[in-house]
Amino acid sequence: MGMPERGARGGPPACEPPFAAQLRAMGVAVEEEIYAYATTGSGLAGRAARVLRTARCFRERLRRGQFDIVHINTSFDTKALVRDNWVLGRLRGASAKIFLKFHGSDAWLLETRQPILRLLRNGLFERAAGVGVLSSEERANFLRAGVPEEKLFQVSNVVVTNRSEGREEFLRRWNLPGDRPLLLFIGRFIPAKGLLDTIRACQLLRERGWQFLLLCVGDGPARADAEAEVERLGMSDSVRFFGYVPEERAAGFYAHSTVLVFPTYHYEGFPLSVFHSVAAGLPIVTTRIRAAADYLKEPDNCLWVEREQPAQLAERIAEILHAPELRASMSANNRQLAQRFSAPAVAQEHLEISKRLARGS
């Protein structure tokens, strides 16, 4: 199994270790090899060296042992496409079946007419025995691109509910007020996640008399613009930035906030900010995108909002804040839904796929 390096951030570092541990608990022999690296600023030469090292490590593992499946956690984007082709090319002749699990996919790459990218794309799908995607939208995209239906599997991620400290301890730790709603935005700060839309929606809420605190948890290239927007709108007393918070500490934000506000339009397949909120029983306002659209229903689990619509986003947040009974029902429904993403359920799902691939059926 190709795993992210210790210290890497994003979806796979959170969901793949408990998945591998559960497979072992079920009697499956799993060996791990680093496939995605924590460092990103090493330049072209450094990234090329990592790819070469990764291919060499996988090839040596396959030479030394007997494996049924090579399970690679990756993403379907341009950089990963080049890396995956190189690594899989070095594994030619291996008897193990290759399963690619895409933690997000760029639909543009499936539609491109650029000859080199099309060649790489088609070569990747030819070498893989199975392709796992995290949503029905992605599955439809891959089918339209010509990927054989028998190779495509819609799968899930493990969502772990981390234990959180009590509410009073959480509020003291982060110096937060206990007398007003806490609106949570958490994730990688890139423009497509919708942080600026969230800040602008909160400015509209404040104009209507709402008292709240927006908690911005995470970091990334969009942070500077977000902080500048808060300053421009005079929102400093209603918005706080916390930077990157490790998973074990982030559990408190999911457990003790009032609502998750996450108007993303990024191409991730299974937005973990949404599904960690599901596991914590947190009411949600989000976009109808990818796996969220597959598993969440309105108003049982969330309220939907269109992308890049701050006014509509403000209305939906206010709708939840106005209705404590709606928040209570969402919380109960989301905790129940989270059982579908337990480690035993997801591991069994993947194990059945692996058995099919190993049999060649």
Could you tell me if 136 and 193 lie in one domain? Answer: no
What's the pLDDT tens digit per position in 214-254?
A: 999 999 999 999 999 999 999 999 999 999 999 889 999 99
Could you tell me if 202 and 124 lie in one domain? Answer: no
Could you tell me if 171 and 273 lie in one domain? Answer: yes
Q: Which two tokens stand for residue 63?
A: 């030479």
100 contacts 84 by C-beta, under 8 angstroms: yes
Could you tell me if 324 and 348 lie in one domain? Answer: no
- pLDDT score, position 106: 93
Task: Say how far apart CA 341 and CA 266 lie, in whole Å.
Answer: 22
What is the CB neighbour count within 10 angstroms for residue 113? Answer: 6
Could you tell me if 79 and 191 lie in one domain? Answer: no
CB-hemisphere CA count at 13 Å for 155?
29
pTM over 0.75: yes
Residue 221's alpha-carbon distances to 67, 72, 147, 156, 189, in angstroms, are: 40, 27, 34, 28, 6
How does DSSP classify residue 186? E
User: How far does the chain reach from its first CA to its final CA, in angstroms?
Assistant: 21
Could you tell me if 249 and 239 lie in one domain? Answer: yes
Could you tell me if 97 and 223 lie in one domain? Answer: no
What's the pLDDT tens digit per position in 86-142?
A: 999 999 888 999 999 999 999 999 999 999 999 999 999 999 999 999 999 999 999
Q: Which two tokens stand for residue 188?
A: 């990688």
The CATH code of the domain that includes 290 is: 3.40.50.2000
Domain count, the chain: 2
3-state secondary structure 5-73: CCCCCCHHHHHHHHHHHHHHHCCCCCCCEEEECCCCCCHHHHHHHHHHHHHHHHHHHHHHCCCCEEEEE
272 contacts 247 by C-beta, under 8 angstroms: no
- pLDDT score, position 39: 67
Could you tell me if 93 and 140 lie in one domain? Answer: yes
Could you tell me if 333 and 354 lie in one domain? Answer: no
Could you tell me if 128 and 183 lie in one domain? Answer: no
Could you tell me if 118 and 38 lie in one domain? Answer: yes
Task: Say how far apart CA 291 and CA 274 lie, in whole Å.
Answer: 10
305 contacts 274 by C-beta, under 8 angstroms: no
* Percent of the chain residues past pLDDT 90, beyond the cut: 88
Phi, psi angles (nearest 5°) of residue 29 = -80, 120
- pLDDT score, position 361: 64
How does DSSP classify residue 145? T
Could you tell me if 150 and 51 lie in one domain? Answer: yes
162 contacts 275 by C-beta, under 8 angstroms: no
**Is the omega angle on the peptide bond into residue 310 within 30 degrees of 0, that is, cis?**
no
Give the domain range for residue 300: 167-340
